[in-house]
Amino acid sequence: MIGRPILRKQTSYSMYRPSAIAIANTLADIRFSAAQVFISNFCVYFMSNLNRSAGAFFAFHISNYVAFLTMQRIEYTGYIEPVNSMKRWLFCIFHPNPIAYAWQGIMENEFRRINLTCDGAYIIPRNGNGVTKYPNRLGDNQVCTLFGAQSGSTFVTGRQYVLDGYRLDMEDVWRRCFIVLLGMFFFFQLTQVIALEFFPQYVANVGFRVFAKENAETNNSKKLSRPRGPLVRNDRNELRLRMEKIILVLKRTVSREYRKTFTWENLNHTVPVPGGTRRLLYDLCGYVKPGTLTALMGASSAGKTTRLDVLAQRKNIGVISGDVLVDGRPLTSDFSRGTAYAEQMDVHERPATVREAMRFSVYLRQPAEVSIEEKNAYVKEIIELLELQDLADVIVYCLGVEARKRLTIGVEFASKPELLFFLEEPTSGPDAQSASNLV
């Protein structure tokens, strides 16, 4: 998980193939995990008093080791349950599990070498609670409760025990299970390589830009954006033209009939907490003049975001009291239609382009009576207003912090807010120069 950003960055620079990390991780795991698994198996095997022979121990170790490598290729969870104890419709869960095959191999490795003796607690009836008339070993009128026990026999072979108790036929089960384990290991490894090689790995802020495929519209936009004639730098004229364009767009967005004063008085917000309630806002008063930019400033955790959410009618928890007015009148049900709210978190559809993200907002939030041509033209104006012409066809996931913030503002601005535009910490994240450009 920690190395994924590095992998994606190096892959984007064509330094390595994406599948190289999967193969490298496997080779590294084989070397480092061999000693770890061996120590663990050594302790478990002899503490459990399993069969004391070299062949049995190394068969146990190899089975667990291959299962360990297979489990690293894909995530599994849960406990092993014998096939005969499962519902018939759950068989499909048992067989794809590599631990099931490792368990079968371990069972075969241990029980094919031992015999189980019928004595003690495995005999019915038996001595106990003052009863001493029965022999300690299997005798007449007594039965053995072990799986696979036969009448008159004082022992049960390990092969018969696992066959009757777990429906596990040990005829070549070790070879079958070991081959299946190896097959699953290579299958999962190949699946991981294919997934890394052919599925895109999205990552933000990697220092490069990915453009959408060119079409007639993008080609036309590039032609129109190319300068005609020699370039003459004139900062004053450039600034004047930009301000005129901003004023023009704002005039189109906010008509005179919607230039109203927004006020609030004695605003309170109380939320429930364990053991009672807590008041977050205390008798707040304020106003916003039409056509002005009002900044709400304060220390961290001072309640700035809470106040914005309450004023924008976005809070649905707790009790809100006080007066929120537009030109001295209470808010109507369509108040939210005339406002826009750019949140601090820049949440966008990652595979979309900047132009597509704005158009998606315009198509859904502007009235249906507005034609598609007018909506697209307005999106073009917003892109020029926010100076996103060079990034209009860039995929969102590779935008920088400052560009993503401008896109967030553009997506909300594209809805043509007629009354208010709320911006939650628009300068947090970008550097000083980028924050100055946003303002």
Give the lowest-confidence range in 84-88, 294-298, 332-336: 84-88
pLDDT, tens digit (0-9, with 9 covering 90-100), for 109-137: 788 888 888 877 777 777 777 666 677 66
* Distant-in-sequence contacts of 191-194, Cβ < 8 A, 24+ apart: 191/73, 191/74, 192/19, 192/22, 192/73, 193/19, 193/22, 193/23, 194/19
| 125 and 272 in a common domain | no
Looking at residue 270, its pLDDT comes to 92
| 343 and 253 in a common domain | yes
- Residue 288, helix vs strand vs coil: strand
* Separation CA 387–CA 391 (nearest Å): 9
What are the DSSP calls for 320-371, one per residue? EEEEEEETTEE--TTGGGGEEEE-SS----TTSBHHHHHHHHHHHHS-TTS-
- Residue 100, helix vs strand vs coil: helix
Q: For residue 263, is pLDDT > 80?
A: yes
Domain CATH code at residue 429:
3.40.50.300
Looking at residue 245, its pLDDT comes to 62
User: Per the domain annotation, does 332 fall within a domain?
Assistant: no
User: Per the domain annotation, does 361 fall within a domain?
Assistant: yes
Listed residues 181, 198, 215: the one ending a domain: 198
% pLDDT > 90, the chain: 4
| 76 and 10 in a common domain | yes
pLDDT band at 30 (very low <50, low <70, confident <90, very high): confident
Give me the domain span that covers residue 349.
207-225+235-260+337-439
| 83 and 24 in a common domain | yes
Residue tagged 């911006």 (tokens): 423
In total, how many domains does the chain have?
4
- Which residues neighbour 65 within 8 Å (Cβ) at sequence distance 6 or greater? 33, 34, 37, 38, 41
The answer to whether the CB of 400 falls within 8 A of the CB of 346 is: no
User: Does pTM surpass 0.75?
Assistant: no
Average pLDDT over residues 296-309: 85
User: Per the domain annotation, does 285 fall within a domain?
Assistant: yes
pLDDT band at 81 (very low <50, low <70, confident <90, very high): low
User: Per the domain annotation, does 331 fall within a domain?
Assistant: no
Would you give the DSSP letter of residue 398? G
Looking at residue 248, its pLDDT comes to 61
| 412 and 279 in a common domain | no
Looking at residue 425, its pLDDT comes to 82
| 293 and 146 in a common domain | no
In angstroms, what is the C-alpha Rg of the chain?
Answer: 36
Looking at residue 215, its pLDDT comes to 67
Average pLDDT over residues 250-255: 54
pLDDT, tens digit (0-9, with 9 covering 90-100), for 411-423: 888 888 878 788 8
User: Per the domain annotation, does 392 fall within a domain?
Assistant: yes
The pLDDT mean for the chain works out to 77
User: Per the domain annotation, does 250 fall within a domain?
Assistant: yes
| 67 and 10 in a common domain | yes
Give the lowest-confidence range in 66-80, 189-203, 299-313: 66-80
The answer to whether the CB of 391 falls within 8 A of the CB of 354 is: yes
| 147 and 27 in a common domain | no
* Distant-in-sequence contacts of 191-197, Cβ < 8 A, 24+ apart: 191/73, 191/74, 192/19, 192/22, 192/73, 193/19, 193/22, 193/23, 194/19, 196/18, 196/19, 196/21, 196/22, 197/17, 197/18, 197/19
| 183 and 98 in a common domain | yes
User: Per the domain annotation, does 230 fall within a domain?
Assistant: no
pLDDT, tens digit (0-9, with 9 covering 90-100), for 215-234: 666 666 555 555 444 444 45
Q: For residue 243, is pLDDT > 70?
A: no
| 409 and 300 in a common domain | no
Q: For residue 77, is pLDDT > 70?
A: no
Looking at residue 298, its pLDDT comes to 83
- Residue 439, helix vs strand vs coil: coil
Neighbours of 353 (CB within 10 A): 21
| 191 and 291 in a common domain | no
User: Per the domain annotation, does 247 fall within a domain?
Assistant: yes
Looking at residue 223, its pLDDT comes to 54
Looking at residue 414, its pLDDT comes to 81
Would you give the DSSP letter of residue 425? S
| 431 and 374 in a common domain | yes
Looking at residue 252, its pLDDT comes to 56
